[in-house]
Amino acid sequence: MSNFQFFSERAVIVDFKHFPQTDRGIREWKNRMEDVFGVPLNDKLAVGAMEILFPQQTGKELVNVAKKYRAEYILTRVDWHGDIEGKVMDKEGEWVIFQINSD
């Protein structure tokens, strides 16, 4: 677990660096990855592709995924998703945490 995850005291929808070890957990991880990145996962999709795909998602798409999983916050970069409608809770360098309305 990263320091950020520990100190935020929040669950994470998906983490592409740390994935579960059970069959059920892996299936759920795959579904969440596909929701967040907007494409089906396959063995030809390189790890570096995730860093390209995430910024291509719109702020609205990320908000919809967050609502699906009942997340209240989105961590992203302003230059990627500055269009997210939500309250900026914290910002450090290029990274920002948005609090979104979960209705």
Domain ranges of the chain: 17-56, 59-103
49-64 pLDDT tens trace? 778 888 999 999 999 9
State the average pLDDT for the chain.
86
Residue 103: predicted pLDDT: 59
66-83 pLDDT tens trace? 999 999 999 999 999 999
pTM over 0.85: no
Buried (b) or exposed (e) across 1-39, using 16+ Cβ within 10 A?
Answer: eeeeeeeeeeeebbeeeeeeeeeeeeeebeebbebbbee
Would you say residue 102 has pLDDT above 80? no
Q: 3-state DSSP call for residue 52?
A: helix
